[in-house]
Amino acid sequence: MEAGERDAGAADGGRERAGAVQPAAGADHAPPPVPSSPPVEVTGDTRRRLSLIGTVVSVALFLASMVVLWRIVGEISLAELQKAFAAASVRQIALAILFTCVSYLLLTGYDALALRQLGRRIAYRVTALASFTSYAVSFTLGFPLVTSGAVRYRIYSPYGIKAPTIVGLTVIAGITFWLGMSAVLAWSLIRESLAVAALTGTVVRLNEGVGIALAASLVAYLTWVGVKRRSVSVQGWRLELPGFRLSLGQMLLGAGDVCAAAGVLFVLLPGGHGLSYETFLAIYVAACMLGIASHAPGGIGVFEATMLIALSRLPREGVLGALLLFRLYYYLVPFVFALLLLGAHEIGARMSDSARR
């Protein structure tokens, strides 16, 4: 940690209003300045109602998925599952590790883009550490606003980044994820509507309609943030949203991350499945969305049940073996590595503090 970086961060911290996330002056907007719109207000009553509805839906989705998963797993032979688990080749494992590294490398860009929007200059080595560890921990433990926020705050706070800015950073990073995921789903549903319909038993026109609706929504959002500076306000916290150029960058970065993460599971599937990568993307993204909606840590149970149902024409033991390996390489290994990095970072910070005393 360099003293110059701490001083710069502390100076930036003076620009914050109490209880607010300040927009960066001119961030992502070239002169002449574009007009700003009034912030979108989210009232306390609305938040409570939405939270209650969301909780009921999440619990129902999780319970239903666990019932389905229990029934599916009950029909699987343990011996066949062990055989499928051991059948993964060195090439499959190497590719899975490669795609995992690519996905987490792209995830480090989430914080970099968010900090750019917030007008903060933090060294990439710091943002990379904060991004990787916060996502690796939150993916496994769940409750991302709490877990990833706590990790980010511990790493960024010595650089003058305060709690409201951490909240704004987390929100902007979440927008990056959803823009990318929506773009990938729209692309795969439009391009592979027939194959997705044949695989899942849905209607081709429905798949195309959903894909077109998602694409139209993305275009509408990019237009909305492009014509004016947009902001949201939640309980007195005002956050300016990224403009057109940065939002487009968010969408491309998020799409790359989602494609890499999907690649981890795709290469682990048993051979001879005859499934195209683009078709698989639609199934993967839909399973991820349902897993996120369940609020289960890493979408566990819901994600697996969705994938097993959608890929029911493949050997279930092979698919479940691939899902277990996916959990190992994409969730568990990065989680352990993140804990080691956080431990090393904490030790280094304490040693630096002791040396200054």
Task: Check residue 12 and give its pLDDT.
Answer: 44
150, 170, 149, 155: which is closest to 123 by C-alpha? 155
CB of 304 closer than 8 Å to CB of 316: no
Between CA 121 and CA 129, with CA 127 as vertex, the angle to 5 degrees is 155
Order of strands, edge to edge, in the sheet holding 40-42?
40-42, 231-234, 237-240
The secondary structure of residue 159, as a DSSP letter, is G
Task: Report how far apart, in Å, the C-alpha atoms of 174 and of each of 35, 46, 131, 147, 170 are.
Answer: 25, 21, 12, 14, 6
Residue 274 has pLDDT above 90, yes or no: no
Structure tokens at 51: 């939270």
Q: What is the pLDDT of residues 137-152, one digit of tens each?
A: 888 887 777 888 888 9
Backbone angles phi, psi at 232, to 5 degrees: -120, 150
Q: Considering the chain, what percentage of its residues have pLDDT values greater than 90? A: 40
pLDDT for res 80: 61
Neighbours of 149 (CB within 10 A): 18
Mean pLDDT confidence for 62-90 = 63
User: What is the domain extent for residue 148?
Assistant: 39-66+89-349
- Structure tokens of 194? 């027939």
Distance CA 343, CA 200 (A): 44
Best mean pLDDT range from 25-34, 63-72, 83-92: 83-92
pLDDT per residue as tens digits for the range 43-55: 556 656 655 665 5
Confidence of residue 108 (pLDDT cuts 50, 70, 90): very high
27 is a domain residue = no
Q: Is the peptide bond before 32 cis (omega within 30 degrees of 0)?
A: yes
Answer yes or no: is 80 within a domain: no
The pLDDT score that the predictor gives to residue 79 is 67
Q: What pLDDT, on the 0 to 100 scale, is given for residue 351?
A: 77
Whether residue 339 is contained in a domain is answered as: yes
Q: Who has greater pLDDT, 241 or 57?
A: 241
- 186 — pLDDT class (breaks 50, 70, 90): very high
| Calpha distance 289→172 (Å, rounded) | 18
Q: Which whole-number Å values give the CA distances from 229 to 1, 39, 118, 129, in the listed order?
A: 34, 9, 13, 30
Instruction: Assess if residue 18 is contained within a domain.
Output: no
Residue 189 lies in a domain: yes
Q: Does 271 fall in a domain?
A: yes
Q: Is residue 95 part of a domain?
A: yes
Q: What angle do CA 296, 135, 72 make, to 5 degrees?
A: 35
Q: Name the one residue in this structure whose structure tokens are 């839909």.
A: 286
Which residue is it, tokens 């599937």? 269
Q: What mean pLDDT comes out for the span 92-100?
A: 95
Q: In the chain, how many domains are there?
A: 1
Task: Please report whether residue 357 resides in a domain.
Answer: no
